[in-house]
Amino acid sequence: MVKKVEIYKEILVSEEELDKRLDELAEEITESYKNSEKELLVVGILRGAVIFMTNLVTRMDLDLTMDFMAVSSYGGSSVSSGVVRILKDLEEGIKDKDVLIVEDIIDTGLTLDYLIRNLKDRGANSIKIATLLDKPNRRKVNVDVDFVGFKIPDEFVVGYGLDYNQKYRNLPFIAALKEEVYS
Ligand code: XMP
Ligand code: MG
């Protein structure tokens, strides 16, 4: 078994930084929805967004419901192809609801671009995006992201929900992986 400390070369976002930023994001999000008459549905994208989403919604002072989607892009695991397949769909309809999509990371933007179009077609009242991390240098399509935790450089990161081969999601911080872990 690989010990946690041996797999990362650098902590990019510490536990303290995550804690502070989540408080700020939750407040911004609460402000943005508090006067809406519509039902708020928070949609987490499995599996990477789970830790971010749970820690975010517990700090939001709003009535809301939660649902989840799982998507995968066709093609390689580390490069998005832009063709998105829904592996698990929402349990509930979203017509006339305010939908907040919660993602772990926006990279090329292709996944979110697809999701936004897909959910718009279902008649949501509004769609906003909260992402923990943003790699702006990698963007292929423009996506309006409403709430961003941290902008990070173009490095493969793990922790706080993000994985490499399904592992390291339980690191309590965001770290850049050592190159030798890939190979
Ligand atoms: P796109 O390119 O569609 O991709 O914006 C978003 C998805 O790509 C995955 N991704 C990562 N996952 N560490 C990860 O664990 C990373 O550094 C990383 N970069 C992209 C992730 O699944 C995200 O939902
Ligand atoms: Mg993901």
Residue ranges and CATH numbers for the domains of the chain are 21-30+37-154 (3.40.50.2020)
Residue 84 token pair? 């998105």
Per-residue tokens: 117: 């179009």
First-to-final CA distance of the chain: 16
CB neighbour class for 157 (10 Å; exposed up to 12, middle 13-18, buried from 19) = buried
Among 77, 104, 114, 177, the mutation site with the greatest number of ligand 1 atoms within 8 A of its Cβ is 104
Burial class (CB in 10 A: 0-12, 13-18, 19+), 144: exposed
The pTM assigned to this predicted structure is 0.93
ipTM at complex level: 0.93
pLDDT at 48: 97
**Residue 178 DSSP class:** P
Coil vs helix vs strand at 7: coil
pLDDT at 73: 75
What pLDDT is recorded for position 3?
A: 60
Return per-residue pLDDT of the chain as tens, 183 residues. 556 668 899 999 999 999 999 999 999 999 999 999 999 999 999 999 999 999 999 999 999 999 999 998 765 555 556 678 999 999 999 999 999 999 999 999 999 999 999 999 999 999 999 999 999 999 999 999 999 999 999 999 999 999 999 999 999 999 999 888 877
pLDDT of residue 80: 56
Verify whether ligand 1 is closer than 6 Å to residue 106 (CB atom): yes
Ligand 1 pocket: which of 12, 105, 143 to mutate (most atoms within 8 A of CB): 105
- Those residues whose beta carbon sits under 5 angstroms from the ion ligand 2 are 48
